[in-house]
Amino acid sequence: MAPKSLRLSKSRFLAGLQCHKQLWWRVHEPDAPELVPDAALRNVLNQGNEVGRRAREYVPGGELVDLPFYEFDNKVAQTRRGPRGYGVVEVKATNSLKPEHLPDVALQVHVLRRAGLPVERAAVMHLNPECRYPDLSNLFAREDVSAPVEGVLLGLPDELAAQQRMLEGPLPQVPIGDHCTRPHDCPFLERCWPKLPDHHVSSLYRIERKKALQYEADGYATIYDLPSDLELSVIHQRQVRAVTAGRMVVEPALAGALVQFASPLAFLDFETVSLAIPRWDGCRPWQNVPVQFSCHAEERGRGLVHYEWLADGAGDPRPALAEALVAACAGARKVVAYYASFERDCIRQLAEAVPRLAKELQRIEKKLVDLLPLVRNHVYHPDFGGSFSIKRTLPALVPGLSYADLKIGDGETATLELMHLMFSEELSPVERVELREALLRYCERDTWAMVKMLAKLRTLVAEQLELF
Ligand code: SF4
């Protein structure tokens, strides 16, 4: 038998399926800093625990066997029941069955059979995307995976033995590849992946990994190395031109595209939370629900006026948010967003959730204009680094303005902190005030960024006209 510290658990085995090297580090360096779960992972784990707890309520007569892990005999005795043989049900906090769930179930079937239990059926019980609050009777959907699990079981003993052998030896040599991010991002990416030079070919906007590898194999490591007769998309061509010239490229068509941004404008941004188990009417599992917005609105006689709204507490925020939104956008001819399909989705949700304001909300939706394609189709700055996210484009287009000075500086953290603010009972009143302030300033920065970016684009057009 393997020494205690080298024994496999379910999560270790699944990590080993992704990569033996990752498993080796997990086992031999359990205190590695990369293995400390970050806020995003902690949120997923917390919500997963809540889903597991809920799932037990959906199994009539079910009882939690919650004995310490070393009480093997008592666990087996408590689990022994059922004249129809045994079934294993794995609960997953996802909205669908995923291929990586199968080895997870298979390992449990393997262990139970080796312990002498004749397991005959296996199922995955996942969240049901058709479920709508408040009717949670169909919160879960079950899928029978008995047949595919039997397939996985065929190779499982060999894989277990291989993992155990590997763990007793030195760190295995495993080349980097697609497996580093599938099915999950490996925590050791920074250890294995080489630091790429600036403007590496993989930084071409949304380039497929396969294509970047091919460019590399052809001897083109960076954008500077690409031959001039290479066939490239229009955006890639602009990126190559900007990078090789070392300065921003602005297309003459920008002037025409700016016409749709007709004043008075409102600049709008939402923040959302996503709950595994829905809490508000009409919501499904993991739905992104708007709970905050910031809006800078141009108003006659008042200049640029800032409106903001942020949920307080666990109640349904949508009616009050929708009302504040309608008031904020009341005078706008066009409503500017960055990646407007997100704002469109939020506004549609609000219209469904608050029918008395549906007409006004639909009017706002019709006024949406998107700043992101305006930049993507007309401008490239070498500092964009192949990304048109506002976090990359803002500091390049508006030097001195970024998210670096804020307590909350990215959308993922904002979402987690919003959940904290709304649902945590552990916050003191002072912490609550501070967190609200940090969230308000973050969302405000998003709309202020759009104000400044649009102004910059107009300046660029004016400069072009002066040149002609
Ligand atoms: S980065 Fe890739 S090769 Fe390195 S341990 Fe992780 S999965 Fe394995």
Of 17, 22, 28, which is best to mutate to test ligand 1, by the most ligand atoms within 8 angstroms of its C-beta? 22
Contact present, 394 and 404 (Cβ < 8 Å): no
Q: Give percent of the chain with pLDDT exceeding 70.
A: 93
Q: Please, which pLDDT band fits residue 62 given cuts at 50, 70 and 90?
A: low
Least trusted range by pLDDT, from 77-81, 264-268, 436-440 = 77-81
Q: Which residues contact 216 (CB under 8 A, 6 or more apart)?
A: 201
Q: How far is CA 458 from the centre of its chain?
A: 33
* Residue whose CA is at the smallest distance from ligand 1 atom 3: 176
* Residue whose CA is at the smallest distance from ligand 1 atom 2: 180
Q: What is the mean pLDDT of residues 6-11?
A: 88
In angstroms, rounded to a whole number, what is the distance separating the alpha carbons of residues 350 and 325? 10
- Give pLDDT tens digits for 275-300: 999 999 999 999 999 999 999 999 98
In angstroms, rounded to a whole number, what is the distance separating the alpha carbons of residues 111 and 101? 16
**Domains present along the chain, CATH in parentheses:** 4-171 (3.90.320), 196-247 (no CATH), 255-467 (3.30.420.10)
Q: What is the mean pLDDT of residues 58-77?
A: 65
Q: What are phi and psi of 239, to 5 degrees?
A: -60, -45
Q: What is the mean pLDDT of residues 252-274?
A: 96
Least trusted range by pLDDT, from 51-55, 68-72, 119-123, 417-421 = 68-72
> In the prediction, which pLDDT does 84 show?
64
In angstroms, rounded to a whole number, what is the distance separating the alpha carbons of residues 428 and 255? 51
- Name which of 147, 187, 175 is nearest 37 in CA terms: 187
Q: Is the pLDDT of residue 1 over 60?
A: no
Contact present, 286 and 360 (Cβ < 8 Å): no
> In the prediction, which pLDDT does 24 show?
97
- Name which of 276, 306, 277, 278 is nearest 293 in CA terms: 306
248 lines ligand 1 (CB under 6 A): no
Q: What is the mean pLDDT of residues 335-356?
A: 97
* Residue whose CA is at the smallest distance from ligand 1 atom 4: 192
332 lines ligand 1 (CB under 6 A): no
> In the prediction, which pLDDT does 64 show?
62
> In the prediction, which pLDDT does 468 show?
62
Q: Please, which pLDDT band fits residue 77 given cuts at 50, 70 and 90?
A: low
Q: What is the mean pLDDT of residues 229-242?
A: 96
176 lines ligand 1 (CB under 6 A): yes
- Name which of 63, 138, 125 is nearest 89 in CA terms: 125
Q: Is the pLDDT of residue 138 over 60?
A: yes
> In the prediction, which pLDDT does 440 show?
98
Contact present, 443 and 293 (Cβ < 8 Å): yes
Q: Is the pLDDT of residue 178 over 70?
A: yes
> In the prediction, which pLDDT does 402 show?
87
In angstroms, rounded to a whole number, what is the distance separating the alpha carbons of residues 275 and 280? 10
Q: Is the pLDDT of residue 60 over 80?
A: no
> In the prediction, which pLDDT does 80 show?
58
32 lines ligand 1 (CB under 6 A): no
The whole-chain average pLDDT of the chain stands at 92
Q: What is the mean pLDDT of residues 197-213?
A: 94
34 lines ligand 1 (CB under 6 A): no
Q: Is the pLDDT of residue 68 over 70?
A: no
In angstroms, rounded to a whole number, what is the distance separating the alpha carbons of residues 186 and 326? 44
Q: Please, which pLDDT band fits residue 22 given cuts at 50, 70 and 90?
A: very high
> In the prediction, which pLDDT does 37 show?
85
Q: What is the mean pLDDT of residues 203-225?
A: 94
Q: What is the mean pLDDT of residues 455-460?
A: 96
- Give pLDDT tens digits for 301-335: 899 999 999 998 999 999 999 999 999 999 999 99
Strand partners, 288: 274
Of 12, 17, 25, 188, which is best to mutate to test ligand 1, by the most ligand atoms within 8 angstroms of its C-beta? 188
Q: What is the mean pLDDT of residues 131-152?
A: 96
Q: Give percent of the chain with pLDDT exceeding 90.
A: 81
Helix axes of 390-397 and 429-467: crossing angle, nearest 10 degrees: 60
- Name which of 143, 142, 82, 141 is nearest 112 in CA terms: 82
Of 171, 178, 189, 190, which is best to mutate to test ligand 1, by the most ligand atoms within 8 angstroms of its C-beta? 189
> In the prediction, which pLDDT does 79 show?
60
Question: Residues, the chain, total?
Answer: 468
Least trusted range by pLDDT, from 46-55, 177-186, 222-231 = 46-55
